[in-house]
Each structure stands twice: as C-alpha cells, then as structure tokens.
Amino acid sequence: MKYLVISIFLILIATPVVKAQDDKEKIEVERVFGGYRYTQNGRDLKMKQLVKKMRYDEMAYPKIKSARLNNTLATVLGAAGGFLIAYPIGTAIVNGEPNWTLAYIGAGLIVLSIPISIIGNKKAAKAIHIYNANLYDQASLFKKPQLRLSISGPGLGLTLKF
C-alpha cells in the first residue's frame, strides 16, 4: 500500500513537468483559407492559447497581445457589419421596407475589419517568430550567463542568469 501511494504521488508530480517540457516546442504557422492556422506538435492552437504560451517571453508577449486585440476588434467589426447587412436583407425578404443605409454601413465595417485582421495576423506571425527564435536561443549551450545588480525591498543583491 505504501508503494502504491508513493507511486501515485510521483506520477502526479511528474505530469506537470512533462507537460511543461512539451510546451517548449516550436509553434508553426500555416496559411489557410480565411486566415492562419497555428500548431504545436500537431495540435491546433487558438489565439488565447498562444497568449498563454508566450506570457513569459518578454519580447513576444506584447506582440501577441496586440495581435489578439487586433483580431478581436476585427471579429467584432465583422460581426456587427454582417448583422447590419443581414437585417435589411431579412426585412426585404419578409416584404418590409428595408433601410439600405444600414447595409452600406455594415459593408463599410466589414471592409474596415479586413486590414485590421491582416495587421493582427502579421503581428501574430512576428510574435511566433520571436518566440521560436527565443526557444532556440534558450536551448543554446554556449549562451553566456548574465550578472546583474538587482534591488529588492530590503536591500541590494547580485543576480546570475543562465
């Protein structure tokens, strides 16, 4: 019984370590119809997962957050535009008097969302490129350690970063 409890405890501790090592793999970008597809180890990643994976990368994180903001804004504008186009069409189908001005505004919102989405995708690709480059940089055996002077609450100290 004692060995069973110890074995279960070791498995529970080792599982997050294995998962953490799995997260340090290269993220791939593939252009697909209507946008981009992000994968890591054959698994699709959404923008929210990309942001979560890059949160500790000081250089890639601001870019991926900006890309997520752009993609969210483009999605909201596109959805609002689609609704504004569909509403007058629905009104015309049920023999009502459609307000075509709404459809024109909707078309304008959709056209506006396209460059915002393109900018967001470019920022995401740049962030992934930085993230992947930093993965290989961190894995280098010849990386020089950095010695820094750091100030904390009660005093002063030296920090050695490998």
Q: Is the pLDDT of residue 31 over 50?
A: yes
What residue type is assigned to position 132 of the chain?
A: N
Structure-block tokens of residue 91: 């009104």
Domain-wise residue ranges, the chain: 26-140
- Between 95 and 8, where is the model more confident? 95
In the chain, the largest separation of any two C-alpha atoms, in whole Å, equals 78
User: Where is 111: in which H helix or E strand?
Assistant: helix 100-139
Written as one string, the DSSP assignment of 47-79 is HHHHHHHTTT-TTHHHHHHHHHHHHHHHHHHHH
Q: What is the pLDDT of residue 132?
A: 87
Tokens found for residue 58? 């000081």
The bridge status of strand 43-45 relative to strand 35-40 is antiparallel
* Choice between 38 and 5, residue whose per-residue pLDDT is larger: 38
Torsion of CA 127, 128, 130, 134, to 10 degrees: 140
- Here the tokens at position 87 are 């509403």
pLDDT of residue 2: 65
| Residue-wise pLDDT tens digits, 117-136 | 999 999 999 999 998 888 76
Task: Tell me the backbone φ, ψ of residue 110, rounded to 5 degrees.
Answer: -65, -45
For residues 108 and 106, give the distance between their C-alpha atoms in angstroms, rounded to a whole number.
5
